[in-house]
Chain A
Amino acid sequence: GAVVSQHPSRVICKSGTSVKIECRSLDFQATTMFWYRQFPKQSLMLMATSNEGSKATYEQGVEKDKFLINHASLTLSTLTVTSAHPEDSSFYICSARNLDGRSGANVLTFGAGSRLTVL
């Protein structure tokens, strides 16, 4: 089945540094990927939609200069948290949209998530 690899799974950084998280579709091409943020015991909050070859679409309230998204190829999207601060500490999850093999319906395949801790 479809697999999405997300790396790193955990990262600890100092305040003011930038952190890059990668999301790769391993066995399919993903023209669309999504980036989510999840706070403890809460559901997923969509941050942005990443489209290959074009600019990402950010949700209201998400700072595009703070969370840089690049989708340079059909199998890779990256999220860079620039000048990270402690309030950016969170669990970030990516997903890729692909087609279900049997039905042809749009489905989501998720990465394992990245735990960011900013000291």
Chain B
Amino acid sequence: KQEVTQIPAALSVPEGENLVLNCSFTDSAIYNLQWFRQDPGKGLTSLLLIQSSQREQTSGRLNASLDKSSGRSTLYIAASQPGDSATYLCAVWRVGQFYFGTGTSLTVIP
């Protein structure tokens, strides 16, 4: 069974810092990987989608990379802002199902 782990579980950084969130998965036979953001008491908002054939995707200050062979993805956030404070989840799509990571709770301190 696919297991998805995110490290760290929580992260607190001062505003303006660049940061990296990590996502690891045990089975490299995935079709794609999605990064989501969840604000407290809300649903999930899709941030970036990386297909299995791709290495990275960028959207604004966000950059996500994928290394299937090692079972890892990273989400890089540049010049962090207080509005980036949220929980970030990664999910891998494989054989008809999405598998979610445990999430990283990010706090950006003004």
Footprint of B on A, CB under 8 Å? Answer: 4, 6, 34, 41, 43-44, 46, 49, 91, 93, 95, 100, 103, 105-113, 115
- Give Cα A108–Cα B80 distance, bound, in whole angstroms: 26
- Give Cα A41–Cα B51 distance, bound, in whole angstroms: 28
Query: Closest residue of chain B to A32, judged by CB?
Result: B96
Query: Closest residue of chain A to B32, judged by CB?
Result: A105
Contact A107 B46 (CB under 8 A): yes
Query: Closest residue of chain A to B103, judged by CB?
Result: A43
Interface size (B, Cβ < 8 Å)? 23
Footprint of A on B, CB under 8 Å? Answer: 31-32, 34, 36, 41-46, 49, 51, 89, 91, 93, 96-98, 100-103, 105
Given that A34-B98, A108-B34 are contacting pairs, would A103 and B51 also be in contact in the complex, using a CB cutoff of 8 Å? yes
Q: How far is the CB of B22 from chain A (nearest CB, A)?
A: 15
By secondary structure, the A interface counts as strand
Which of B34, B41, B102 contacts A43 (CB under 8 A)?
A: B102
Extra contacts besides A105-B49, A113-B41 (10): CB < 8 Å: A43-B101, A43-B102, A44-B89, A44-B100, A49-B96, A105-B93, A106-B32, A106-B93, A111-B43, A113-B43
Question: Can you list 9 pairs linking A and B with CB atoms under 8 Å apart?
Answer: A43-B89, A44-B100, A105-B31, A105-B93, A107-B32, A108-B34, A108-B91, A110-B36, A110-B45
Query: Closest residue of chain B to A104, judged by CB?
Result: B51
Q: How far is the CB of B56 from chain A (nearest CB, A)?
A: 14
Contact B89 A106 (CB under 8 A): no
